A = this chain, B = another copy of it.
Amino acid sequence: MIGFIGLGIMGSRMAANLLKAGFEVTVYNRSKDKAEELLNKGAKWAESPKEAAEKSDVLFTMLANPSVVEAVSLGEEGFLDSLKEGKLWVDCSTVDPSFSRRMANESEKRHLRFLDAPVSGSKLPAENAELIFLVGGSGEDLEEVRPMMEAMGKSIVHQGSHGMGSSMKLVINLMLGQTMAVFAEAVSFGEAIGLERGTVVETLLGGITTAPFLKGKKNKVLEHDFAPEFPLEHLQKDLQLVSQTAFENNTAMPIVNVTKEIYALAKQQGWSKEDFSVIYRLFSEKK
């Protein structure tokens, strides 16, 4: 039996794909209404994280941030003491590498097994079972859950020991922030030298120098609509985390350290809650 805790935009779609592939799944979410559709498709309901854990051989979590993961696993009603010895917890939430290592440690203390397995990909890849799993922990444990991950993703990469999945996720968010900023700068440059914005965007998106995720930012840039998908302040926080982690590991990162301050200047404009593609405004607006 698989347990699944956290049925937000990502988690609900991932659990649905598990069901579709024929797995038995017990789900839990803070608000039950988000589970209805899954229950109709055959999922079982757990009244609490503890109950979900008790029934599970493998327990997936897909939660908002480290503090939520900590509360749900180790808090008063936390599930970690309810998982049976030898069972496996797979945390797909985006957290710090050191947090993942702490969770691995807490699991070991209780004779449980643990994998950090954050995913690359957002809403649509989650729906289409095209996520990429970035996995830290034992290869054997990974093999055990590989069929489940294959039901939810198109690619499963073993990154190394505990925390390495989360480390890789940090690398990916670094790419995300940098690539967005570079694209914004390039489009602004194109406009400034007389090219038509739409043409620049189309040409870049059609070529090999532009990361695929930027297709999803096309309308934001074209229509100056920066409704948040990934808020600027979160991205900027991740870049600061990269800066601090790089310092601790003695590695120089000149470009990202500038990029993060350009995002910081955008924060000073009052755009913290906007989508991080709002960085385009900083480059393109002139008074």
Contacts and interface: CB of A to CB of B under 8 A. Distances in A.
A252 B240 contact: no
Interface in A205-232: 206-213
Interface in A242-287: 242-247, 249-262, 264-265, 267-270, 282-283, 285-287
B190 A242 contact: no
Which residue among A186, A207, A253, A286 has the maximum number of chain B CB atoms within 10 Å of its CB?
A207
Nearest to A243: B243
A175 interface: yes
**Which among A155, A204, A252, A256 has the highest number of chain B CB atoms within 10 Å?**
A252
Interface string A172-204: 101110110111011011101111100110111
A190 B171 contact: yes
Nearest to A262: B254
Nearest to A258: B258
Interface residues of A, number: 80
Contacts of A249: 192-194
Interface of A: 97, 120-121, 125, 132, 134, 155, 157-160, 164, 167-168, 170-172, 174-176, 178-179, 181-183, 185-186, 188-190, 192-196, 199-200, 202-204, 206-213, 240, 242-247, 249-262, 264-265, 267-270, 282-283, 285-287
* A-B CB proximity, top 6 nearest: A252-B264, A192-B251, A254-B261, A175-B209, A270-B287, A208-B213
